[in-house]
Amino acid sequence: MMPAESTDPAPLAIVCLLEKDRLPMVIKIDPKENASSLKTAIIKTGGGGILEDVRPSQLVAYKLQTPLRWENEPEVMMAKIVSDLWDPDLATELPELDPLEEHFLAPLSSRYVHVFVRRRAQHTSHSRPNPAHGNRIPDSCSERFETVRGLYEKLRKERLVQICGPSGTGKTTLSFLLHAYIVRVCPQSAVYSTILCWPTEAQSQQTGLCTVGERLQRWAPGHERHRESGLDTYILLSRGQETYWDTALWERFFGKVISGSLPYRVVLFCRHHHSVDAIVSPIARIPFHSPTSGYESEFSPESGVRVQPGLYLTSTECEEVVNLHRSFGDLRPILDPRLQKMFYVWTDGHVGALTALLKYIMNEKKQQFVEKDTLLTSEFLHTVSLHALYTTIEEGGSFGQGLPRRRWGEEFTLWDLTSPATRIMKRLIAEGGLDVPEPGNEGGTTDTSGGMDVDADGGADESADTRLLAECYRHGFIIQVDKNRDSGEDAHEGRMIRYAFPSPLHASYYSLRLVQHQQYSRSLVKARAPSEPPIFRFDTPLDLVFATLGRLKQTNLKPTPSPSASALDAESTNAKDKSQARYRNEFRRALHEVADGYVLLSPGFGAGPSGSVSQAGAADVIDLFVPEKSWGIGMLTYQQWGWEGYRYSSYDFTRHGAGGEPRRHGGANGEDGEGGEDEDGYGPWLGYKITDYIVVEFRTNMPVLAHPDMPHLFHVVFEDDHASLKVYNNNLELQRYAVRLGDHRG
């Protein structure tokens, strides 16, 4: 009787390579085993001591989609494999529980590497020493993996990249992360980075560093030796604005880097742009936001869409920062998803503003929130005082670094309502941003949407304001956005540059401080003249809104025609977003005009550099607040899919608080921790009592559905190409006949 043949499959002989090992190893294993068993077998083999005291769960096994032939240059092969790990088409992580036979077919060639194994990134510790900096990246810092990878790919393509942003926007940390990434994927390349300043012209003369070569050698010793070897040399230059005086550096070095004459890749981290960069134009610049940084459209492993680099955090990175503050900091409660989104809207991804909010919760509100498992949006809005918040975070940290201080001189003080800086800040608050011609395009340019008018003769006041805007930008108080570049339009004569606040939180901060100083100044006037008439002569929020609508300018409401725009573009979601942004910003400007500047911006009003109106009002239903009357104004945004998120739904403050979430009705003193109900029945909002409110919705077509349960809702319908408007209430009853709009200044 013949013995039965064995049905057991032949073992797989998988060639595996360990990171930092010079030679691969062959692991023979049953094909029915999984990746976890493969890693256990690798550890038992030893790995030349590399895997001492390592557990299987600490390793990641990647299948190389195209096995690599092992050559005699292990360092080169290792660099190639490590680089491939960042592309899912070239290498994928082996699922822990999948049988190996689902991924490998026997027999496997022993001359090719099939699996690459490395230690798993330790999410319990983000300590990443950087030998060039001598610093470590904080545990609460996002790794920004997709952003850093996108920046690296852009650097490989463009050769010189400039990243500009004010203090507190994460430029230094991004430099650390990029340095570590380059070391991982290009271990043979030289990477030079330091937080030291580039020498000034005077320092160069005093120290005998008279040539560009001598200054580079002092800053990056040995860089020429690497250049002669033919390997790429990376230079990450912090405080790049310190190089603007060095024309020779830009002409003779950076210019040749861009042209490809020198084997260098350079990243300049700068606080502001400068006209010197025109010497080697064009320079690839990283914008404040990734083109895919919208809250719902970011990278996901399933979509395979890569995030393009941007200086500000994406919403995903913001969530990671919040979670890391819970893991490594004193942030005890979990922030509910709506509150996390609200923080992203408030900060627009400005890392200094985000960390200031989190530290305020951890330090100032620690006792109030320590017992809570989850912190709701309504609890935050009912408990936190905007005045207390700003008073705390303006004193230090990344947020405070970007604020005007007395050391900048009298022209930058905000304590004097007649100072030039105060006048500029009031215009920025009222108009959302100021547009000026790019240097060299000043003549005869006028911008009608929040712009600085510059006539052919050059008005003295406007020229002074333009110079002061540029000075505020250089100090880092405001940011500069190239409107043409961000919109994707081609360069043309009359290119406009927009100055704006770094984030909505910054805009709200300045609006609060200026309102407080105005109120204080007015109290002194009333003390001297008690018969001084009141500022407001309006009895209801609707009266105030009617007066504001009469001040709207048609040219600010209409879309700016673009030669390349099609009819389909005009109907796109992006075009509708821009329309809503114009409506909201023009209403804000007109309201400041009517209210003489006594308007507080919500931290969630509008948007920052991203300009995405679809982010506005994620959770905070008050957009504008009038302290003189304690009135709140909210603005709905109408999209193709209807009112965005139905922020107000069928509720109002009488039943739910200002956060739009159900709140428990406690005693008069709010023993339940959510704040008691005011005598007028409205919930508190960031330390302010709401006596009345109104909800305004802008559109160009007549609404169809009535909302009898929303008595505070009013529809503003524009007609005749925004030349007139009509106002309807929640029951679609006409409240105001056609109002003709003009372009008056007063």
pLDDT tens per residue, range 220-277: 777 777 666 667 789 999 888 989 999 999 988 999 899 888 889 999 999 888 877 7
Give the whole-angstrom CA distance, residue 707 versus residue 213. Answer: 72
CA angle, residues 196, 478, 354, in degrees to nearest 5: 75
- Looking up residue 187, the CATH number of its domain turns out to be 3.40.50.300
pLDDT category at 664 given cuts 50, 70, 90 is very low
- Is-contact 653 660, C-beta < 8 A? no
pLDDT at 562: 53
CB environment 85-99: b (16+ within 10 A), e (fewer): bbeeebbeebeeeee
What pLDDT score does 161 carry? 93
State whether 158 and 274 are in the same domain. yes
List beta partners, residue 698: 716
140 within some domain: no
**Does 459 have pLDDT greater than 50?**
no
pLDDT in tens, 479-522: 988 665 544 444 444 577 889 999 999 999 999 988 888 887 77
Examine the domain organization and report whether 30 and 105 are in the same domain.
yes
Residue 211 lies in a domain: yes
Tokens 């007549």 belong to 702
Residue 432 maps to which CATH number? 1.10.10
H or E stretch at 69: strand 59-69
Q: Is the pLDDT of residue 300 over 60?
A: no
Q: Buried b vs exposed e over 109-127: b needs ≥16 C-beta within 10 Å?
A: eeeebbbbbbeeeeeeebe
CB 616 within 8 A of CB 645: no
Output the DSSP codes for 480-509: EEEHHHHHTPPP-TT-EEEEE-SSHHHHHH
Same domain, yes or no: 328 and 251: no
668 pLDDT more than 90:
no
Sheet holding 479-482, edge to edge: 434-437, 496-500, 479-482
Cβ-contact 483, 498 below 8 angstroms = yes
* 348, part of any domain: yes
Three-class secondary structure assignment of 298-329: CCCCCCCCCCCCCCCCCHHHHHHHHHHHHHHC
* Amino acid code (one letter) for 427: R
Residue 511 lies in a domain: yes
Q: Are residues 246 and 358 in the same domain?
A: no
Could you tell me if 622 and 550 lie in one domain?
Answer: yes
Q: Are 258 and 280 in contact (CB under 8 A)?
A: yes
Q: Residue 273: which residues within 8 A CB-CB, separation 6 or more?
A: 162, 164, 480
397-411, 668-682, 719-733: segment of lowest average pLDDT: 668-682
Instruction: Count CA within 13 A, CB hemisphere, residue 541.
Output: 21
In a domain, residue 630? The reply is yes
pLDDT band at 540 (very low <50, low <70, confident <90, very high): very high
**Mean per-residue pLDDT for 617-625?**
67
Please tell me whether residues 46 and 36 are part of one structural domain. Answer: yes
Last-in-domain residue among 84, 119, 154? 119
Least confident of 50-59, 463-472, 581-590: 50-59
Residue at 665 is within a domain: no
Rounded Cα distance, 587 and 714, in Å:
14
The burial class, CB within 10 Å (0-12 / 13-18 / 19+), for 710 is: middle
Least confident span in 501-505, 648-652, 679-683: 648-652
435 with 516, same domain: the answer is yes
The pLDDT tens digits of the residues spanning 180-227 come to 889 888 887 888 887 667 888 888 888 778 888 888 887 777 777 766
Mean pLDDT over 424-428 rounds to 88
Residues 699 and 595 grouped into a single domain? yes
Sign of torsion over alpha carbons 74, 75, 80, 86: positive
Q: Which domain does 227 fall in, by range?
A: 145-286
Q: Which pLDDT belongs to residue 503? A: 92
- Sequence-distant (6+) residues with CB within 8 A of 420 are 411, 464, 465, 468
What's the confidence (pLDDT) of residue 50?
A: 65
Burial pattern 617-632, b for ≥16 Cβ within 10 A else e, equals bbbbbbbbbbbbbbbb
Write the CB contacts of 321 (distance below 8 Å, at least 6 apart in sequence).
Answer: 140, 141, 142, 313, 351, 354, 355, 358
Distances (CA, A) of 236 to 176, 217, 219, 277, 531: 9, 15, 11, 17, 63
Specify the pTM. Answer: 0.74
Q: Which of 85, 119, 153 is the last residue of a domain?
A: 119
Residues 714, 612 within the same domain: yes
Count of structural domains, the chain: 5
Check whether residue 553 and residue 601 sit in a common domain: yes
Same domain, 619 and 631: yes
CA-to-CA dists, residue 484 to 38, 225, 428, 471, 495, angstroms: 54, 41, 20, 22, 7
d(CA 511, CA 473): 18
Beta strands in 223-307 (DSSP E): 233-237, 264-270, 284-286
Rg (CA), the chain: 30
Tokens matching residue 377: 């949006």
The packing angle between helices 351-363 and 386-393, to 10°, is 110
Residue type, 740: R
Q: Do residue 359 and residue 479 come from a single domain?
A: no
**Does 71 reside within a domain?**
yes
Q: Of 399-403, 456-460, 583-587, 634-638, which gets the smallest average pLDDT?
A: 456-460
pLDDT band, very low/low/confident/very high, at 731 (cuts 50, 70, 90): very high
Neighbouring-strand partners of residue 696: 635, 714
Q: Are 313 and 144 in contact (CB under 8 A)?
A: yes
pLDDT of residue 440: 56
Asked, for residue 413, whether it belongs to a domain, the answer is yes
State the residue for tokens 């609404």.
Answer: 703
